[in-house]
Structure 1
Amino acid sequence: METPNSCLWSKLPIDIVTYLLERLSLLDFHRAKLVCSNWYVCSKQTARPKYGSPLLMLSPEGDGCCIYSPDEDRFYETKIDFSGIRILASSGKWFLVADSRLTLFIIDVFGAKRIDLPPLESIKGGRFRLERVGDNSFKERLDNNSAPFFFFQTSGDLRGFLWVDDKKELEYVVVWYIRNSVSSRLGFCKNGQDHYREISTKEFEISDMVLNGYMLYVLTDRDYIRVLDLSGKEVFKELSPSDKIQMHELGRKSGETTDDIKISASNNIVVTTSGEVFLVRSVRYKSSRVTFRLYKRDLNPYPNGRFRLSSTKLVEVDSLGNEALSMDLGITVPADHTLGIQPNSIYFTRHDRMCRKPKSYRVSPPPNICVFNLETKTLKHFSALSNLKLKDALWFFPS
């Protein structure tokens, strides 16, 4: 850990080091503890600084990434070489990334600790297998009673989801999803495993997913929500029967303008801190305006008892209360003014993260980074980002 240039710093008295550490931002705090072994030990005895706002991981056009702090209006360079790396998902300070060879690993964006994951071709338990072709593509082989079929999967087809708990011993769950014009595949692994297990998608196509702990929530193309428990040693199980929800083209509220041209719309699911599942309808307009509406299942859609159809009706949710919603994570988190997490707000970068197609199909629009207040129906943008040409962006909550 120590270098010749750190010898002088290592000789500073502990009270001075503590004084310095207590006044650093979260990013600088994590970097400072890597100066030398003495500083690292001192950091363990120093209260970790509270961070202001949630952070943004930005991927500008070209290679590399940087971190933006809205609270400080400041950009931080990462100590990690993100050249050729594609960020798939985040959980706290941990990121799931894929390198140029489609090798997956998890990395601590502050401490640069890296956890290598099994290769994609290690997947077991299904009716197919992947064979690497070149540096960044795979051949999919289906073995059945007829002749085998081959499809090619590339980096643009890959999506990922991550959950990490590092409060005690490090626990994690990684889910990846490959979808192209012909097929879709879903696999997962946990800490200590050297391979992935397949989750069969034979009976449904996936519209959206949320990974919250060991629970995987899947919104299917037929408007079903399936809840899968991934905590088993080698298998997953479905917690409850499929509950159908009726999704439809939702009309405008009274008072909304109609002169703005709608570019795209998306239905996504989010899971609240209490475990309730919401449907989020987001609409993007030509003017870069974004609107959001939240819905949940009506638990008593027909009070007179004449019909017993399960969850065929949605009711609108007007408020998140003292919670904030991260569209990138698909979950809500407790609001905290001391940490800069605004209540009743939606942290948003893009609504096509799950279904975004590779450039061979179409060019994805740039991220539209904002915070939407559900009470005032207003958007907050960040002027420091307006002139940046970004390929992608992710909100993350490091604490």
Structure 2
Amino acid sequence: MALRSRDMASPLPLESHGSATPAPNLGISFTDEDLLLPLAQRRNLRLHPHCHCWSKLPSDLIQLVFDRLGFADFQRAKCVCSSWRSVSRKSQPNNQIPWMIRFPKGNGYDYCLLFNPEEKDKMYKTPNLGNDFTKNVCVATYKSWFLMQPKYKHIDEDCRLNLYILDLLTRERINLPTFVSGCGLICSILWIDEKTKDHLVIGMSEEDHAISFKRGDNSWKQIPSLSGIEECFSMVFKDHKLYCLNFGKLKVFDFSGDTPFRVFKTSVSDFLQPPRPFGMRMPGTSWKDNVVHSKNKVVVTLAGDVLIVKCRRPNVSKIWEFKIYKMVGNNQWEEIYSLGDEAILLDLGITLLAKDMEGIQKNSIYFSMDTILFEDQYDKTEIFIFNLDSKQVHLPHRSVCSSFPCSRSRWFLPCFKRE
């Protein structure tokens, strides 16, 4: 794992190579299950019924333990002894908890900071991500893979863009073909297969047509079957289906075959309205203070239900307003007030099971929002958690290193590969 753990007080290595630490109490006892052990181990248990050595546990049992651990406990369990470390190489952390990433602002930084909600007082530093990292911006994520494209100020005169896909944890990089655009991909999505490295990138170019690139293609291709999704501002790709949302329609396309085709269309104009232009400025306030922060996103739940989430907050107010609509039929939507045991990752357009999981709040919305900075041209993004029970918004982490100037932050769902 190419990450370094940093305490706010002093740096600490992520993997301890010193003496073994005491093993956590995993609640394992040898009773009736002893019958499942090999004969030699059962004979040893009869001779020494009260001697339970952690290092002598069967490897398949240790692996069952590792498969149930989150990232933090997984790293600790690797340090129990050499046999546990050996088994850990065949396992991977079971992570369904969103992490926060903070991107650097300005040049001179080739790394990011990562925050794990399971460890509120720690942050992790990524390895060197390349000399051109700060000249690019992340426009989509899939697990630990990030789709990077040049920032607007770094687009050359010919408007030729060189995008690439980067694994944040391993630094593996997949370069994509160049294409010409004055503003890059808009409303883009990324999908990648961890084993085969098959990948798919879809986005809007110049707001008038959809383009895509997948492994095996020689260049970016227009997608004629996606015509009519201009002004799309939210897209989700899940189970080979692409969900496209604008202020009038929600359209669903099937990508399971060679040629995508539309399978569904429904109206959303009854509860989604285009943003209003700036009106008159309130007396005694700046233009910045009159800005209304808003975001509308399509979300697909674990069960396959389609939601539309509306969030809104005037800049002069500290109160966020969230409304969630669930599709119950063609052109039929109903407002819902609870997510049950799930949580929404709004930027990814998905939900996660949050019941009895430390580090993630159920019935909550994890989201990011641009902070209006006119001199930086919207060049700052903060992330928040909104709890539907308490109707309160809070910041997930306050232990941010002040020496690290940050421009953008976002939620992502890391995937920790096998060693």
Same fold (TM over 0.5): yes
**Alignment match, 2:123:** 75
> Is the partner of 2:399 in helix, strand or coil?
helix
> Is the partner of 1:350 in helix, strand or coil?
strand
Matched, 1:162 2:190: yes
CA distance in structure 2 between the aligned counterparts of 1:247 and 1:288, rounded to whole angstroms: 27
Q: Which aligned pairs between 1:109-148 and structure 2 lie closer than 5 A?
A: 109-120=168-179, 130=180, 138=181
- Measured after TM superposition, the shift of residue 52 of structure 1 is 8.4
Aligned length: 320
- Measured after TM superposition, the shift of residue 171 of structure 1 is 3.4
Contact 2:305 2:327 in 1 (8 A): no
Matched, 1:228 2:253: yes
CA distance in structure 2 between the aligned counterparts of 1:365 and 1:337, rounded to whole angstroms: 36
Matched, 1:366 2:390: no
Coordinate RMSD, CA, aligned: 4.2
**Alignment match, 1:196:** 220
Contact 1:52 1:71 in 2 (8 A): no
Paired residue type of 1:243: T
- Measured after TM superposition, the shift of residue 329 of structure 1 is 0.3
Matched, 1:323 2:342: yes
Shift in CA distance, 171/289, structure 1 to aligned 2, threshold 3 Å: farther
CA distance in structure 2 between the aligned counterparts of 1:118 and 1:365, rounded to whole angstroms: 27
Contact 1:210 1:269 in 2 (8 A): yes
CA distance in structure 2 between the aligned counterparts of 1:282 and 1:261, rounded to whole angstroms: 17
Contact 1:266 1:283 in 2 (8 A): yes
CA distance in structure 1 between the aligned counterparts of 2:73 and 2:136, rounded to whole angstroms: 23
CA distance in structure 1 between the aligned counterparts of 2:370 and 2:301, rounded to whole angstroms: 18
Contact 2:191 2:237 in 1 (8 A): yes
Contact 1:245 1:297 in 2 (8 A): no
- Measured after TM superposition, the shift of residue 395 of structure 1 is 0.5
Q: Residue deviations 1:41-99, cap 9 Å, x none?
A: 94763433445852112113214432222332322221123232211111111111125
- Measured after TM superposition, the shift of residue 348 of structure 1 is 0.8
Give unpaired runs (5+ residues) of structure 2.
1-15, 21-54, 156-160, 274-288
Q: 1:292 aligns with which of 306, 311, 322?
A: 322
**Alignment match, 1:54:** 98
Matched, 1:90 2:141: yes
Q: Residue deviations 1:192-213, cap 9 Å, x none?
A: 3333321246534213211224
Matched, 1:397 2:409: no
Contact 1:163 1:213 in 2 (8 A): no
**Alignment match, 2:113:** 66
Q: Residue deviations 1:355-397, cap 9 Å, x none?
A: x9x989x922732311111122122213224967532212011
> Is the partner of 2:378 in helix, strand or coil?
coil
**Alignment match, 1:105:** 164
Matched, 1:335 2:372: no
Contact 1:262 1:283 in 2 (8 A): no
CA distance in structure 2 between the aligned counterparts of 1:176 and 1:204, rounded to whole angstroms: 11
**Alignment match, 1:172:** 199
Moved more, 326-335 or 94-103: 94-103
Shift in CA distance, 78/288, structure 1 to aligned 2, threshold 3 Å: farther
Shift in CA distance, 359/29, structure 1 to aligned 2, threshold 3 Å: farther
Matched, 1:383 2:391: no
Moved more, 54-63 or 183-192: 183-192
> Is the partner of 1:83 in helix, strand or coil?
helix
Shift in CA distance, 28/332, structure 1 to aligned 2, threshold 3 Å: closer
CA distance in structure 1 between the aligned counterparts of 2:262 and 2:241, rounded to whole angstroms: 10
CA distance in structure 1 between the aligned counterparts of 2:191 and 2:325, rounded to whole angstroms: 25
CA distance in structure 1 between the aligned counterparts of 2:94 and 2:303, rounded to whole angstroms: 25
Contact 1:27 1:110 in 2 (8 A): no
Q: Residue deviations 1:282-323, cap 9 Å, x none?
A: 012324543311012354xxxxxxxxxx51x53211111121
Shift in CA distance, 262/159, structure 1 to aligned 2, threshold 3 Å: closer
Paired residue type of 2:301: T
Contact 1:228 1:238 in 2 (8 A): yes
Matched, 1:212 2:235: no
CA distance in structure 2 between the aligned counterparts of 1:359 and 1:230, rounded to whole angstroms: 40
Paired residue type of 1:335: A
CA distance in structure 2 between the aligned counterparts of 1:394 and 1:69, rounded to whole angstroms: 13
CA distance in structure 2 between the aligned counterparts of 1:95 and 1:113, rounded to whole angstroms: 11
Task: Give TM-score scaled by structure 2 length.
Answer: 0.64
Shift in CA distance, 104/231, structure 1 to aligned 2, threshold 3 Å: farther
Paired residue type of 2:345: S
Matched, 1:186 2:202: no
Rg larger in structure: 2
> Is the partner of 2:414 in helix, strand or coil?
coil
Contact 1:54 1:396 in 2 (8 A): yes
CA distance in structure 1 between the aligned counterparts of 2:263 and 2:272, rounded to whole angstroms: 29
Percentage identity across aligned positions? Answer: 27
**Alignment match, 1:125:** none
CA distance in structure 2 between the aligned counterparts of 1:261 and 1:395, rounded to whole angstroms: 27
Q: Residue deviations 1:313-362, cap 9 Å, x none?
A: 5321111112111111011122254452321111111279xxx9x989x9
